[in-house]
Amino acid sequence: MIFGESSERKQLEQQRRSEGRLPPGQSLTLKWPVLQYGNVPRVDLRTWDFRIDGLVEKPVRLSWDEFNRLPQTEIQCDMHCVTRWSRFDNRFEGVLFTEVMKLVTPKPASPAGGPAARFAVVRGENGYTTNLPLEDLMKPQTIFALKHDGEELSAEHGYPLRLIVPHLYLWKSVKWVRGFELTAQDTPGFWEENGYHMRGDPWKEQRYDSDQ
């Protein structure tokens, strides 16, 4: 059985590479490895909320029920972890980032020289943050996921809500996400302050701050 699984994995890996879907330095996995900093948080949906603030005309706070009433959709995407594994053809169900952005009005640059919102600091449980350009977040497959492959997210993979940014390394896809702050400057988050790249494009192998 182990030999069969290994053979299948290698064949799929070769196929994905020939299709141009496997970024440089990555290997295909048939599993979904669990990686995170710190412990898996306990979440109480009765007190859970989702907040959007920063450079917006009016901050927004949503309860769990309110968030779940937002329009939902399904995407299919590949995932690429900075630790060099890739998982293909994942199905996520949830709320697109573009849909969530309809709830707020980002502040434009003011005539007096006030800054416009161009970036976001995405917040998770336990004080975790990561930084992303709004341009990346507004791509059509960026989603706040509630389900993966037809099942509710497991606690280890971000239950009850996880941001998925498929075109960037997976540390940008915040587990246990609780909202985001719009900013004018690209402010480093947890891993970025600890030597990871500010953007994290797997096709450019932007793993660490020394990478181009």
- Asked if the structure places residue 15 within a domain, the reply is no
- Asked if the structure places residue 56 within a domain, the reply is yes
- Asked if the structure places residue 209 within a domain, the reply is no
Q: What is the DSSP string of 4-38?
A: HHHHHHHHHHHHHHHTT-S-TT-EE-SS-----SS
Residue 94 has a pLDDT of 98
CATH value at residue 104: 3.90.420.10
- Asked if the structure places residue 212 within a domain, the reply is no
Render pLDDT for 191-210 as a digit per residue (tens, 0 to 9): 999 999 999 999 999 999 99
User: CA-to-CA distance for 13 and 6, rounded, in angstroms?
Assistant: 10
Indicate the number of domains in the chain. Answer: 1
Residue 130: domain span: 43-76+90-204
- Asked if the structure places residue 189 within a domain, the reply is yes
- Asked if the structure places residue 34 within a domain, the reply is no
- Asked if the structure places residue 149 within a domain, the reply is yes
- Computed over every residue of the chain, the mean pLDDT equals 93
Integer angstrom CA distances of residue 32 from 29, 40, 121, 152: 7, 16, 26, 15
- Asked if the structure places residue 67 within a domain, the reply is yes
SS3 assignment, position 77: strand
> How far is it between the farthest Cα atoms of the chain?
67
Confidence of residue 113 (pLDDT cuts 50, 70, 90): low
Q: Is the entire prediction scored with pTM above 0.85?
A: yes
Render pLDDT for 155-196 as a digit per residue (tens, 0 to 9): 999 999 999 999 999 999 999 999 999 999 999 999 999 999
111 contacts 164 by C-beta, under 8 angstroms: no
